[in-house]
Structure 1
Amino acid sequence: MAQTQTQTEPEAAPSKSLKLPLILGLALMIAGGGASFAALYLGLIPLGHAPAPSAATGPDALPDIAYVALDPMVISLSDPAARHLRFSAQIEVPAAYQKDVELLKPRVVDVLNGYLRAVDLRDLEDPAALIRLRAQMLRRVQIVCGEDRVRDLLIMEFVLN
Structure 2
Amino acid sequence: MTEDLEEDFDDNDGAESGAEPSQSKGGLKKILLIVLPILLLVGGGAGLYFSGILDKLLGGHKEEASTESSAPSPVAKAVQAAAFMDLPEMLVNLQTSGRKQAFLKLRVALELESVADQPRVEQMMPRIVDYFQVYLRELRIEDLQGASGMNLLREELLTRVNAAVKPVKVSDVLFKEMLVQ
The structure having more radius of gyration, on CA atoms, is: 2
Mapping 1:53-132, distance limit 5 Å:
54=69, 63-79=80-96, 80-95=99-114, 97-98=117-118, 101-102=121-122, 105=125, 108-121=128-141, 129=146, 132=148
TM-score scaled to structure 1, two decimals? 0.64
Aligned-pair distance for 1:6? 2.9
| Aligned amino acid, residue 42 of structure 1 | L
Tell me if 1:155 matches 2:178: no
Out of 26, 43, 50, the residue aligned to residue 33 of structure 1 is: 43
| Aligned amino acid, residue 89 of structure 2 | P
Q: Distance in 2 between matches of 1:108 and 1:45?
A: 51
Q: Any unmatched runs of 5+ in structure 2?
A: 1-7
Is the partner of 2:109 in helix, strand or coil?
Answer: strand
Out of 6, 26, 31, the residue aligned to residue 21 of structure 1 is: 31
| Aligned amino acid, residue 30 of structure 2 | L
Seen in structure 2, the aligned counterparts of structure 1 residues 13 and 103 have a Cα distance that, compared at 3 Å, is farther
Fraction of identical pairs, as percent: 23
Is the Cα contact below 8 Å between 2:158 and 2:173 reproduced in 1? no
* More helix as a share of residues: 2
TM-score scaled to structure 2, two decimals? 0.59
Q: Any unmatched runs of 5+ in structure 1?
A: none
How many residues align structurally? 152
